[in-house]
Structure 1
Amino acid sequence: MNAPQPLRQQPDRPRMCFVVGPIGDPYAAHGTSEHESYEHHLGIFEQVIAPACEKYEITAVRADGIAHAGDINEQICRHVIESDLVIADVSGGNPNVMYELGLRHITGKPTIHIGEAGQLPFDIASIRTIRYQPSRSHLAGARREIESALEVGIRDGFELLTPARVVRALQTVDGPSSLEQSGSEEETMDEDLPGLLDDFAAIEDGLDEMTSHLGAITKAIETIGTLTEQGNVEILDLAQANAPASARLAAVVRYAESLSMPAEEMIAVSAAFAERMVTLDSGVRAALSLIEVTSPDERGEGTREFLEQLIALEESAQEGLAQVGFLGASARGLIRVSRHLRTPVKDISAAVKRMTSAIACMGEWAAKARDLLDTPE
């Protein structure tokens, strides 16, 4: 008996390809891992993916190439779900990429996996992946493989890549899937498969790290508050004693110097906090989308804990935001006192701006989590 052929999406010529993969930071200092990652993956896009798509008159775009103004995270989700084709670079198993890929698999639309040899994540290793190595000849070969996959897909239809956990989620929404109707999937599915959130460990680790960052920010704010109170007392005493301007300036300089260390700590921690937010945001949103399409009976015990963690993190962040906002307003008034205060105040203001933006994303996570838990706002 011949083995059953993989299910395929009916042929439908794609016009738009959204490329999912690590992007890196184009503004990072040269020589850093972030900048090297940007250059490497930009090269893969420009030398491999875009030319292969262009051969079939398919427009390829990355997240950093989305031209329209608006919420970038919403735009990414829309492109992942709505694009005719997605090509996903799964090198290194980047959590952000993996959850965007999971969201894509739910749609059942055409998806092609590529990845650098030796860096393929274990949990999708069974899915056919076009492998490449960072050399000119290997990249040319990878481009030809993508072209071949596109040719076959356009002619015969694209294979449906649907992991078992996503099939199970779809069954709760639309009834039996085509795989279940074939009689092959339901019979072989293991009832002891990990729950949905077993795959969210990387996100949870990131959330724990963000909680630690919030604690460090709070500590820095408290230190700055104490130093400010002490500095104000000294400056006020000098003013009341009619001390010369030079004496009062010396006090301000001492105050500015005392602020330098906690201000630098704030800028460093807020940068790490914002960077982690960028890494996690699309992943958390994709995780929430997966939970939303999964029946409550199928979600597993870890789901509630994950959703409650999002809510608790946002509540803690809101408390810190009140302190950060007050500190930012106070810092802006200090710039006029002396030029010596400008550097620490600039650092404090930059940290406040980063934290405020990042915490706004947390509010959206928590709102969705509350909705999924069906708890009052």
Structure 2
Amino acid sequence: MTTAQSLGQEPVQPQRCFVIGPIGDPHAAPGSSEQEEHEHHLAVFEQVIVPACEKHGITAVRADGIAHAGDINEQICRHVVESDLVIADVSGGNPNVMYELGLRHITGKPTIHIGEAGQLPFDIASIRTIRYRRMRSDLAAARREIESALEVGLRDGFELLTPARVLRGLQTGDGTAPHANEEDDDAPGLLDDFAVIEDGLDEMTADMEAITKTIETIGALTEQSNTEMLDLTQANAPASARLAAVARYAETISSPAGELNTVAGAFAERMVTLDSGVRAALGVIEMTPPEERGEEAEEFLEQLMSLDETAQGGLAQIGSFGMSAGDLARLSRHLRKPVKEISAAVRHLTAAIKRMGEWAAKARLLAGGGTV
């Protein structure tokens, strides 16, 4: 395994470990899933992480164990950036955890990943992660793996992860550091990473434009159908005539409804893939003085805010239709399939746009000269 020493990072003796990961709600109702999650992650902290750190003379603390008064968000960011060691439980890809992890990665300081098997985020799957299951024997094994990782890191140095290598101009291939005046033509730089993320955001923008057009198409077809149904009702047409009109409507929206669900699913997948990269990029911008950020960073922030505004508008449109989807499905069996497609698209978009809103909120804060 490549050591930090080979990358120019000397071994250090961490005195304090900050633990980032899901905490859950300690005040949740007894027996609820929220309480179970809180108890589970507390057990991982107390039974796995704390004793593993103590074996090497390291004190472990979570966000809920910070004793000092003050802005908790600022305190967490300081612990993430300044702590000698961070252990990150990435189970479930919690957005706050992924953002904090992105900040940590770019510091180049020692970081150990752990996570529940089957709950690891796709976008950091290439990074070595100590996996565990919710069984006593697995938790004990995870504790021993952390102890071993700490022993190796303290002896040989901790390995730099990709974001830190990029920022320090180090190679990502064989792990050797370049000479002071030597450049690797193939090694990605910070702007290269921004370009990759921006390409993904461009694709999401194209997805959102397609979604908006499809919603408009469905809306126009729905308006035509409503007019036809009103005319039939006023003419006291038989139920068979109205059923035939509904069947025609279902047929006309079937294709755009399927397309809407497909594009919304692709949009949500891109969101998951880009999430930690965007959050890490926002962390880089936050740690860069405003006067040194350059046009690329400002354009990146503007892109996040613009995409969020477009997405929020699209969600409002599709959401209003989704609210009436149940009534339409009960109107006729012909409508069940297209309504099912539209309802699935609403779910995809709602989850994705919520996360996008977090990007945009951070971007607005940074664009205004603020920090966390």
**TM-score category by the smaller chain?**
0.5 to 0.7
Contact 2:102 2:279 in 1 (8 A): no
Say if 1:221 and 1:327, in contact at 8 Å, map to a contact too.
no
**Is residue 7–residue 160 contact of structure 1 (8 Å, CA) maintained in 2?**
no
- Match of residue 318 from structure 2: 324
Q: Does 1:312 align with 2:306?
A: yes
Aligned residue number for residue 93 of structure 2: none
Tell me the distance in 1 between the aligned counterparts of 2:228 and 2:110.
Answer: 68
RMSD: 4.7
**Match for residue 235 of structure 2 among 216, 235, 241:** 241
- Match of 1:244, as an amino acid? P
Shift of residue 237 of structure 1? 2.3
For 2:160, the equivalent position in structure 1 comes to 161
Give yes or no for the alignment of 1:302 onto 2:305: no
**1:227 and 1:259 in contact (8 A); partners too:** yes
2:71 counterpart of 1:104 = no
Q: Residue 10 of structure 1 corresponds to which residue in structure 2?
A: 13
Q: Which amino acid aligns with 1:343?
A: K
2:215 equivalent to 1:221: yes
Verify the 8 A CA contact 1:253 1:341 in the aligned structure 2: yes
Q: How far has the Cα of 1:331 moved from its partner? A: 2.6
TM normalised by structure 1 equals 0.58
- Where do residues 120-269 of structure 1 align in structure 2 (5 Å cutoff)? 150-154=150-154, 156=155, 158-159=157-158, 161=160, 163=164, 166=167, 188=180, 196-269=190-263
Please say if 1:365 is aligned against 2:368.
Answer: no
Deviations 1:152-207 (A, max 9, x none): 324x3634738476469xxxxxxxxxxxxxxxx9x94899x997443222211110
CA distance in 1, matches of 2:347, 2:79: 28
TM-score (norm 2): 0.59
Q: Is the 8 A contact 2:85 2:111 kept in 1?
A: no
> Shift of residue 221 of structure 1?
0.9
Q: Deviations over 1:209-241 (max 9, x none)?
A: 111111111111111112112222222222222
Matching of residues 282-297 of structure 1 within 5 Å: 282-297=276-291
1:105 deviates by 3.4
Q: Which amino acid aligns with 1:161?
A: L
Segments of 5+ residues of structure 1 without an aligned counterpart are: 19-52, 59-76, 89-97, 114-128, 131-144, 169-184
**1:84-123 CA distances to partner (integer Å, 9 max, x unpaired)?**
46699xxxxxxxxx9987633344432479xxxxxxxxxx
Using the TM superposition, name which of 245-254 and 261-270 deviates more: 245-254
Number of the residue aligned with 1:92: none
Q: Secondary structure at the match of 1:243?
A: coil
Residues 1:233 and 1:345: Cα distance change in structure 2 (over 3 Å): same
The farther-off stretch of 340-349 and 98-107 is: 98-107
Quick check: 1:152–1:158 contact (8 Å CA) kept in 2? yes
Cα distance, 1:299 vs structure 2: 2.3
Distance in 1 of aligned mates of 2:305 and 2:253 = 33
1:246–1:350 Cα change, 3 Å: same
Give the count of matched residue pairs: 276
Distance 1:270 1:242 in 2: 40
Alignment of 1:22-171 (within 5 A): 84=85, 103-111=103-111, 150-154=150-154, 156=155, 158-159=157-158, 161=160, 163=164, 166=167
Residue 331 of structure 2 aligns to a residue in which SS? coil
Does the Cα contact within 8 Å between 2:265 and 2:348 map onto a contact in 1? yes
Gaps of 5+ in 2: 1-5, 22-47, 54-76, 90-97, 114-126, 129-144, 170-176
Q: Retained in 1: the 8 A contact 2:52–2:147?
A: no
Residues 78 and 263 of structure 1: is their aligned pair in 2 closer, same or farther, counting only changes over 3 Å?
farther
Matches of 1:107 and 1:241, distance apart in 2: 72
Separation in 2 of the partners of 1:364 and 1:84? 27
Question: Which letter does structure 2 place at the counterpart of 1:246?
Answer: S
Contact 1:100 1:282 in 2 (8 A): no
The CA distance in 1 between the partners of 2:212 and 2:258, in whole Å, is: 14
Is this contact kept in 2: 1:10–1:157, CA < 8 A? no
The percent of aligned pairs where both chains have the same amino acid is 61
SS in 2 for 1:336: helix
Contact 1:16 1:83 in 2 (8 A): no
Give the SS at the match of 1:318: helix
| One-letter code aligned to 1:109 | K
Partner Cα distance (1:327, 1:305) in 2: 33
Indicate the residue corresponding to 1:70 in structure 2.
Answer: none
- Note closer, same or farther for the CA distance 1:6–1:274 as it changes in structure 2 (3 Å cut): closer
